């Protein structure tokens, strides 16, 4: 008998690919997403906002899934005032847990959090060593705390923290990077390789599937990062993408010049031109290296199906076809 899996946030970047992959693996997958038109609902595609607590409980009691992969979230960093804008990351998680308990059929939940429960560049010493520096990151901390305190007896659960996941179907924000590389408008900042624990989409989907199938004692009540096992060099990665996209060789701007340009960008942003693509925030993200110990994830998932070179080619092919 097929195992029945609900994926929340199924229309998102990871969700779309994960739905397709799990169906190929003979799971019965039900998509749950607030972007689904009510007139387009079917047995495998249901509309629900996680903040609609009663509807969520009704759907889970009706569907009676065996497992849930929770991906739904607000993921941008735009909110500056308070946490209310990220309520789906907090009360949405609380409502999902209530629905899981009410359904009585769920034996496994994979809760998706984020590496941004800590500021970029800080590697936590233990699971609850939090250091967010954005409201989005704080909302993900609150979500994790709700999960840890939920008393989900008899249910295997774990928290998964994706890092920067890239690949075909990337958001418009990351597509602007690909377009800049294609048009020769991207530059390296200094000569350092800048190592980062990124993850290719195909590998992230594979890792989620492995966590769905792992022995309970291997994952229960634990936290894992989702990323490729070997950090990539930002310099080499962008150069490879530029080459595959048919772009020009990337020029290198000295770090001092990059800092000056970033300050100009800050001024332009302050004058209301928010789409100017380079500022101090972005420069700091570029220069900040982060490398996570992926050994615990590797123990669960084993070898990954795609190399960085595979991912670069697949991403470039997708973007060129799309363009």
> pLDDT tens digit string along 137-184?
999 999 999 999 999 999 999 999 999 999 999 999 899 999 999 999
Mark whether 110 and 134 lie in a shared domain: yes
The predicted structure's pLDDT at residue 48: 92
For residues 98-104, give the mean pLDDT: 98
Do 97 and 132 lie in a common domain? yes
For residue 10, give Cα distances in angstroms to 121, 146, 240.
Answer: 29, 22, 30
d(CA 48, CA 118): 29
Residue 258 lies in a domain: yes
What is the chain's mean pLDDT, rounded? Answer: 95
In a domain, 78, yes or no: yes
Between 78 and 57, the higher pLDDT residue:
57
176 and 155 both lie in a single domain? no
Q: Range with the lowest mean pLDDT among 38-42, 99-103, 176-180?
A: 38-42
- Strands 195-196 vs 232-233: parallel, antiparallel or unpaired: antiparallel
CATH of the domain at 41: 3.40.50.720
Same domain, 151 and 12: yes
* Structural contact between residues 52 and 98, judged by C-beta atoms closer than 8 angstroms: no
Residues 183 and 127 in one domain: no
- Are 185 and 141 found together in one domain? no
Return the H-helix or E-strand segment holding 28.
strand 28-33
Q: What angle do CA 317, 318, 323 make, to 5 degrees?
A: 100
In a domain, 144, yes or no: yes
Whether 224 is covered by a domain: the verdict is no
Distance CA 103, CA 25 (A): 25
Q: What Å distances lie between residue 215 and 194, 212, 299, CA to CA?
A: 36, 9, 12
State the residue range of the domain holding 264: 172-193+233-287
Q: Are residues 118 and 184 in the same domain?
A: no
Specify the pLDDT at position 38: 55
Handedness of CA 172, 306, 117, 262 (dihedral sign): negative
Q: Let me know whether 102 and 189 are in one domain.
A: no
Q: What DSSP line would sit under 29-73, residue for residue?
A: EEEEETTS-GGG-BTTEEE--TT-HHHHHHHHHHH--SEEEE---
Q: Is the pLDDT of residue 222 over 80?
A: yes
Q: What is the pLDDT confidence band of residue 77, given thresholds at 50, 70 and 90?
A: confident
The reply to whether 293 falls in a domain is: no
User: Are both 33 and 144 inside the same structural domain?
Assistant: yes
pLDDT at residue 323 greater than cutoff 90: no
Tokens read off for 18? 């994960």
> Residue 40's pLDDT is what?
64
Contact 24, 81 (CB under 8 A): no
- For the chain, percent of residues with pLDDT exceeding 70: 98
- Looking at the domain assignment, is residue 315 inside a domain? no
Q: Residue 22 falls within a domain, yes or no?
A: yes
- Is 7 found in the same domain as 143? yes
Higher pLDDT, 1 or 253: 253
> Tell me, what's the pLDDT at 39?
57
Domain check: are 189 and 148 in the same one? no
Backbone phi, psi, residue 195, to 5° = -85, 135
Residue 213 counted as domain residue: no
The band of 37, judged by pLDDT with boundaries at 50, 70 and 90, is low
Domains held by the chain: number:
2
Residue 272 has pLDDT above 60, yes or no: yes
Q: Are residues 156 and 182 in the same domain?
A: no
- Residues in the chain, how many? 323
**Pair of tokens at residue 33:** 């997403």
* Residue carrying structure tokens 């038109």: 37
Task: Tell me phi and psi for residue 166, to 5 degrees.
Answer: -130, 160
């Amino acid at each position: 008998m097929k195992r029945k899996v609900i994926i929340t946030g199924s229309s998102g970047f990871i969700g779309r690919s994960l739905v397709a992959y799990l169906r190929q693996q003979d799971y019965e997958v039900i998509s749950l997403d607030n972007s689904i038109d009510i007139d387009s609902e079917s047995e495998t595609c249901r509309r629900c906002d996680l903040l609609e607590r009663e509807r969520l409980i009704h759907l889970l009691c009706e569907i009676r899934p065996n497992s849930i992969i929770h991906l739904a979230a607000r993921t941008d960093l735009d909110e500056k005032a308070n946490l209310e804008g990220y309520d789906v990351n907090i009360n949405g998680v609380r409502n999902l847990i209530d629905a899981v308990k009410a359904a009585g059929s769920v034996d496994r939940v994979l809760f998706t959090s984020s590496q941004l429960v800590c500021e970029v560049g800080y590697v936590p010493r233990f699971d609850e060593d939090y250091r967010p520096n954005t409201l989005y990151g704080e909302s993900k901390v609150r979500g994790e705390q709700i999960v840890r305190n939920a008393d989900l007896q008899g249910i295997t659960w774990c928290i998964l923290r994706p890092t920067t996941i890239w690949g075909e179907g990337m958001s418009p924000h990351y597509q602007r990077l690909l377009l800049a590389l294609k048009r020769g408008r991207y530059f390296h900042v200094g000569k350092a390789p800048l190592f980062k624990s990124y993850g290719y989409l195909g590998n992230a989907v594979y890792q989620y599937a492995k966590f769905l199938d792992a022995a309970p004692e291997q994952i229960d009540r634990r936290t894992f990062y989702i990323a490729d096992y070997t950090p990539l060099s930002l310099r080499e990665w962008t150069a490879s993408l530029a080459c595959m996209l048919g772009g020009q060789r990337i020029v290198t701007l000295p770090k001092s010049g990059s800092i000056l340009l970033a300050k100009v960008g800050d001024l332009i942003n302050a004058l209301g031109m928010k789409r100017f693509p380079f500022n101090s925030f972005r420069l700091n993200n570029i220069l900040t290296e982060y490398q996570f110990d992926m050994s615990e994830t590797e123990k669960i998932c084993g070898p990954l199906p795609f190399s960085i070179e595979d991912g670069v080619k697949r991403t470039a092919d997708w973007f060129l076809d799309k363009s």
